[in-house]
Amino acid sequence: MGELALFVLLVLALVAGLALIPFGLPGIWIMVAALIGYAALGGFQRVGVGTLALAAGAALASEAAEAWLGFRLTRRYGASSRAAWGAVVGGLAGAVLGTPVPIIGNVVGAFLGAFVGAVMLEFTAGAAGRGALAAGWGALLGRAAGAAVKIAAGLFIAIVGLFAALG
């Protein structure tokens, strides 16, 4: 396969991966895999191990930041640590349950799951209605902040990867 064709496939894979991130799909890992594939097919001439390590590190950091932000913002809005864990688990479960709904199911499921998980576990911890709803709101904000961080990391990976591929 020609060098131009490989570059075009890399660009398409990076754009597709970036587009998948807001939907709660593993777009960031598709981007890393595309860079690894491009590097391997190109004999690691342009995209080297350093670029791949940087991309993988950014992806891992964004995953950790997403989980941390969801947990912290839930707690910041007065939730118990139990409700914060409910937001994390609820967000994951909601993303999985939303999968059958085309295009937006994962996103809506993840946001609703985080909200419901936090509210339910805050209620079981003995919180009143308003406190449980505040916990759910914090979980929703945490999920949104986590998605924003992942999109920023995806943009970083795409830019670094494309500059390396062009270099």
Summarize pLDDT for 106-160 with one digit per residue, the tens: 788 888 898 999 899 888 877 778 888 888 898 889 888 988 999 999 999 999 9
Q: pLDDT tens digits, residue range 45-60? A: 999 999 999 999 999 9
Whole-structure pTM value = 0.80
Q: CA-CA distance, 35 to 13, in Å (whole number)?
A: 9
Total tally of structural domains belonging to the chain: 1
Q: CA-CA distance, 95 to 118, in Å (whole number)?
A: 15
Rounded mean pLDDT of 25-46?
Answer: 94
Q: CA-CA distance, 92 to 109, in Å (whole number)?
A: 8
Range of the domain at 67: 3-166
Cβ within 8 Å of residue 156, ≥6 positions away = 58
DSSP 5-50: HHHHHHHHHHHHHHHHGGGTSSHHHHHHHHHHHHHHHTTTSSS-HH
Cβ within 8 Å of residue 108, ≥6 positions away = 94, 98, 101
Place of tokens 């911890």: 125
| Mean of the per-residue pLDDT values of the chain | 89
The closest alpha carbon to 59, from 33, 93, 41, belongs to 33
pLDDT above 90 (res 80)? no
More confident residue, 72 or 99: 72
* Single-letter residue type at 52: L
Q: CA-CA distance, 33 to 39, in Å (whole number)?
A: 10
Q: CA-CA distance, 20 to 124, in Å (whole number)?
A: 34
